[in-house]
Amino acid sequence: MSLHLSGANLMPNADKANILLVDDRADKLLAFSSILEPLGQNIITANSGEEALRQVLAHDFAVILLDVHMPGMSGLETAALIRGRKKSAHTPVIFITAYADEMHTAQGYSLGAVDYILSPVVPEILRTKVQVFIDLFQMTQQVRRQAEERVALAKEQMARAAAEEARRRSSFLAEAGAVLASSLDLETTLARVSRLVIPFLADLCVLTLDDAQGKQQQTRVAWAEPGNEPIVRTRSLDTLPNAAMREAIGRVLAGGEVELVSDATSWRIASSPEDADGPEPHFGLHAAAIFPLRARGRALGALFLALGPFGREYGRADVELASDLAGRVAIALDNALLLGREQAARAELERSNNELDAFAYIVSHDLKEPLRGIHNYSQFLIQDYADKLDEAGATKLHTLMRLTRRMQSMLDSLFYYSRVGRQDLALQEVDLQQVLQEALDLLHVRIQDSGVQICLPRPLPRLLADQTRIGEVFANLIVNAIKYNDKADKRVEIGFSEIASAHGEGCAPVFYVKDNGIGIDTRHRESIFQIFKRLHGRDEYGGGVGAGLTIVKKIIERHGGHIWIESTPGEGSTFHFTLSPTAGHSLQTP
């Protein structure tokens, strides 16, 4: 059964072709519908030219049967308007008329009519002619659907390929990030980067670093040997043998812009054909791209990528990916260079410190003897010529002896400070509680005279340390706490706290010596560890040469630990210190 639609009240079956019948007489529309119903298609009727135009706007038709003589808008006028619309310009139109003169025939064909049928119509002829256009319409629709399916399939394949390519590029950048972050060694970074891009981005990679004077100082070359499974080889070069390549890299270093080389067939790394069997790439290049390596506003070098005899080309996406990689490589190389400079500076500082320690040792040792002679000679003059010296002379000699004693003390401290840095530690497992008690026994008289109260919340643990040196640490910190305390109720607390070890080996101790003395201002908390540095007058808090805390810091650092201060002026100070990770394994108290 066909679908007979009048007006636009019903939706036609989308699987069937649409036929439009246009006539102002309802009996003729009914007759034509009955004739065409056996074709099994969608039949849509319209009783005027205006109604026909509305239907043409709403639907696509395989064929339109149009009455020539209609009141109002004639069939010829309706056909002209249908043909004037782009979408329906090629829709077949069959005119139906009771008579056809030459004028109407010529006009109808000029408006795109495909045929005339005289009324009354012969049903078999009408069905046959309409069936032809239905078949043609359905074949056209099938071809269109197939074309749309092929376009959709091509778009899907392109989208899938683009997604896969984006995934590959993301994976490549992720791998590049992991490779660049895996080492801060410059040589290792150069080697890994040069191998990274082969063969994903290039068949040949040249990574060159620039020194401050614009001269190439390090060059790493990597390439893929042709074959089913390309073999990546690398080597270092002092300079590039190819002049054109050197000039191109020089331009990129100077201008900081990417340079593309469309024809690099004359560029070779090997200096002669005899190098073909040697450890150098001997194949010709096809195209190349050179990227500047810039970090923190300065040029570090250039990344040269080239394609060889494998038939690839550089596209826009490849250049963008390589530019992204070049930025990451520049940051990694800059970090490696910074680390190298830092390590060199640290080595130079250590060498200078060793030389300074050696100089301090020699100076303090060699000055002690003449200084002792001055002191003894001054004492001899006082003893043997006391009755011959007036009061002013005796005062000057006593001042000379006092100054020599102070100088002697400073030289002793300097001598000891230099020895702490030069002598090896005698590490052994020691009982820190016993070490502390021995230090307190040596300071017994000073503690008693000062009236200070020593508080030990709990016994100290056993750990690996140099017993003599650690005893000096406690002694110096206790003396410092006693010296800079003008309170009536002087207190010094010595103990430790337990913190989780950063090495995952249980707990490590943080030792402290706490007093309630004058305290230390924030701006002086680091400078007090400098040798001969004093924050107060020489005699204001019991004299001294200002080397005790410097020696403490050096001993602790020799043990692999560090020391720091918490203090509030007027409320006292707390010196915290740690020892090496191995020193904190055991926290068992005696």
Tell which wins on pLDDT, 511 or 97: 511
- Which of helix, strand or coil describes residue 261? strand
Residue (of 260, 275, 272, 209) closest to 239 by Cα position: 209
Q: Which CATH code for domain 177-336?
A: 3.30.450.40
Percent of the chain with pLDDT over 70: 74
Residue 233 has pLDDT above 70, yes or no: no
Q: 159-163, 217-221, 416-420, 447-451: which has the highest mean pLDDT? A: 447-451
Is residue 36 classed exposed, middle or buried when 0-12, 13-18 and 19+ CB atoms within 10 A define those classes? buried
What is the spatial distance between Cα 392 and Cα 384, in angstroms, rounded to a whole number? 16
Per-chain mean pLDDT for the chain: 77
Beta bridge partners of 301: 209, 293
Cα–Cα distance for residue pair 68/113, rounded to 1 Å = 11
| 63 band by pLDDT with thresholds 50, 70 and 90 | very high
Q: Is the pLDDT of residue 504 over 70?
A: no
More confident residue, 500 or 467: 467
Report helix, strand and coil shares of the chain as percent, to nearest 5.
50, 20, 30
Residue with tokens 């070779």: 268
Q: Tell which CATH architecture fits domain 425-584.
A: 2-Layer Sandwich (3.30)
- Which stretches does DSSP call E strand in 238-278? 259-261
Q: Which of 247, 335, 256, 259 is nearest to 298 (CA)?
A: 256
39-62 pLDDT, tens per residue? 999 999 999 989 999 999 989 898
Domain residue spans of the chain: 3-145, 177-336, 350-419, 425-584
Encoding tokens for residue 119? 């009324």
Of 242, 244, 201, the closest CA to residue 223 belongs to 201
Contact (Cβ atoms closer than 8 angstroms) between residue 501 and residue 584: yes
pLDDT at position 403 over 70: yes
Cβ contact 396:404 at 8 Å: no
For CA atoms 349, 351, 352, 353, the dihedral sign is positive
Q: How many CA atoms lie within 13 A of 254 on its CB side?
A: 7
Which residues, other chains included, contact 451 with Cβ-Cβ below 8 Å and sequence gap of 6+? 490
User: The pTM is what?
Assistant: 0.43
User: From the CB of residue 407, how many other CB atoms can be counted at a distance below 10 Å?
Assistant: 16
Q: Which pLDDT band, with edges at 50, 70 and 90, does 511 fall under? A: very high
Q: What is the pLDDT of residue 43?
A: 93
Structure token digits, residue 544:
């001294």
Q: Nearest-CA neighbor of 365 among 415, 409, 417?
A: 415
Q: Is the pLDDT of residue 141 over 90?
A: no
Q: Return the bridge partners of 307, or none.
A: 287
Mean pLDDT of 505-523: 82
Residue 275 pLDDT level (bands cut at 50, 70, 90): very low
Structure token pair of residue 284: 């010709």
Q: How confident is the model at residue 121 (pLDDT cuts 50, 70, 90)?
A: confident
How far is Cα 526 from Cα 327, in angstroms, rounded to an integer? 40
Average pLDDT over residues 384-400: 75
| CA-based nearest residue to 335, from 292, 290, 304, 300 | 300
CB–CB of 21/39 below 8 Å? no
pLDDT at position 137 over 50: yes
Q: For the residues 473-494, what does the mean pLDDT come to?
A: 88
**What band does 214 get if pLDDT is binned at 50, 70 and 90?**
very low
Mean pLDDT of 304-331: 78
Copy the structure tokens of residue 444. Answer: 């017994």
Any bridge partners for residue 253, and if so which?
none
Residues 6+ apart with CB under 8 A from 214: 250, 253, 254
Q: pLDDT class for 315, splitting at 50, 70, 90?
A: confident
Is the model's pLDDT at 579 over the cut of 70? yes
* CA separation for the pair 269, 113 (Å, rounded): 74
Single-letter residue type at 299 = A
**Rounded to an integer, what distance in angstroms lies between the CA atom of residue 410 and that of residue 404?**
10
The DSSP element (H or E) to which 530 belongs, if any, is none
Q: What angle do CA 218, 221, 222 make, to 5 degrees?
A: 145
Of these ranges, 234-238, 241-245, 253-257, the one predicted with the greatest mean pLDDT is 253-257
Architecture of domain 3-145: 3-Layer(aba) Sandwich (3.40)
Asked if 466 and 425 touch (Cβ cutoff 8 Å), the reply is yes
SS3 letters across 425-463:
CCEEEEEHHHHHHHHHHHCHHHHHHHCCEEECCCCCCEE
Q: Which residue has the tokens 């006539």?
A: 23
On the question of pLDDT at 421 being above 90, the answer is: no
Dist. CA 352–CA 174, nearest whole Å? 42
The reported pLDDT for the residue numbered 232 is 58
What single letter denotes the amino acid at residue 485? N
Q: What mean pLDDT comes out for the span 208-224?
A: 66
Question: What is the structure's pLDDT at 590?
Answer: 43
Let me know: does 462 contact 588? Beta carbons within 8 Å: yes
**Pairwise CA distance, residues 258 & 271, whole Å:** 26
pLDDT tens for each residue of 72-98: 888 888 888 888 888 888 888 888 887
Cβ neighbors of 71 (< 8 A, separation 6 or more) are 24
Chain-centroid distance of CA 354 in Å reads 39
Report the distance separating Cα 197 and Cα 508, nearest Å: 46
Amino acid present at 569: P
Q: Cα(251)–Cα(186) distance, rounded to whole angstroms?
A: 24
Is residue 415 scored above 80 in pLDDT?
no
For residue 251, pLDDT beyond 60: yes
pLDDT at 5 (0 to 100): 56
